[in-house]
């Protein structure tokens, strides 16, 4: 077997140019840092200019100047629900780095919580725009540049909730389902051009938007029921994103990858022992 198939350079992101949304906190910030550490150049966006500039300055200070190069991260604050801002992100990537090879879409809005029948029209529009439409618009803008570059990687950070029904996050999960179908369509349409599309489905990850859940009794109970008995970390999401951005995942497309500590196994421990007692262990019906 050829040894070069296992060359560690397949994980290297040198020469890649990535647009990262939601880049100032949580999973988006962790992915931006991992991409920069792996050699990528970055166009970062979020709503808050001061926070975004601080992230870009930090990445440039730590990872810029490699191989005699200059800044590796540029920032453009704005609203990803605005198509003009999305177009400006692509224009900035082309002006600064000449291409776009990678798109990382991180969550930028929390799900609205409440019964389906009580969902206000404005909330439905907002959830669809920030979870689905903005990603659809931006993907359509970058795909032609990926095709021209000989390939690229579309990476969407979704949610494990897309695998389940819900009684309290209907509008968000509807938008997630649309996003999932979008990803599969891109994988089918552009695979022949070496453009790959994949979704990461985090479980209970200790990101900026989940602090209240982690601190709650319900969250603690959910974590205790996971096979791994712990919540996830944002760097564990970033590691999967870096894999999907690299040549190491060159035959992976159209996939939804759970990163959830085994949540989807729906493992149940001790139920039968509690029901039948120790005397019933090892016996058939």
Strand order in the sheet with 152-157: 73-75, 41-45, 17-21, 102-105, 152-157, 195-202, 255-259
pLDDT of 69 strictly over 90: no
Quote the CA–CA distance of 133 and 125 in Å, as a whole number. Answer: 10
> Residue-wise over 83-106: b if at least 16 C-beta within 10 A, else e?
eebbeebbebbeebbebbbbbbbb
Burial class (CB in 10 A: 0-12, 13-18, 19+), 2: exposed
Only one residue has tokens 């990926």, namely 146
Residue 1 confidence (pLDDT): 42
Residue 114 confidence (pLDDT): 85
pLDDT tens figures, 104-163? 999 878 887 888 899 899 999 999 999 999 999 999 999 999 999 999 999 999 887 777
Token pair recorded at residue 79: 């609203």
pLDDT tens figures, 195-247? 999 999 998 788 766 666 666 777 777 777 777 788 779 999 999 999 999 99
13-280 maps to which CATH number? 3.40.50.720
């Amino acid at each position: 077997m050829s040894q070069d198939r296992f060359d560690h350079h397949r994980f290297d992101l040198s020469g890649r140019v990535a647009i990262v949304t939601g880049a100032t906190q949580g999973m988006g910030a962790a992915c931006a840092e991992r991409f920069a550490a792996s050699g990528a150049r970055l166009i970062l966006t979020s709503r808050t200019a001061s926070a975004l500039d601080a992230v870009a300055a930090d990445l440039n200070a730590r990872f810029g100047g490699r191989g005699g190069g200059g800044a590796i991260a540029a920032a453009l604050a704005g609203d990803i629900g605005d198509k003009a801002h999305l177009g400006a992100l692509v224009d900035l990537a082309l002006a600064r780095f000449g291409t776009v090879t990678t798109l990382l879409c991180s969550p930028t809005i929390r799900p609205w919580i409440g019964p389906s029948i009580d969902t206000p029209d404005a909330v439905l529009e907002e959830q669809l725009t920030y979870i689905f439409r903005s990603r659809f618009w931006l993907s359509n803008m970058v795909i032609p540049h990926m095709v021209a570059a000989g390939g690229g990687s579309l990476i969407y950070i979704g949610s494990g909730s897309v695998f389940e029904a819900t009684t309290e996050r209907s509008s968000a999960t509807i938008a997630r389902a649309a996003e999932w179908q979008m990803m599969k369509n891109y994988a089918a349409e552009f695979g022949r051009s070496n453009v790959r599309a994949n979704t990461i489905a985090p479980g209970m990850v200790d990101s900026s938007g989940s602090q209240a859940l982690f601190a709650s009794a319900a969250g603690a109970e959910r974590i205790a029921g996971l096979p791994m008995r712990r919540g996830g970390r944002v760097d564990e999401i970033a590691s999967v994103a870096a894999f999907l951005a690299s040549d190491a995942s060159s035959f992976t497309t159209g996939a939804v990858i759970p990163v959830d500590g085994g949540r989807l196994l729906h493992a149940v421990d001790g139920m039968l022992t509690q029901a039948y007692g120790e005397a019933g262990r090892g016996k058939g019906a």
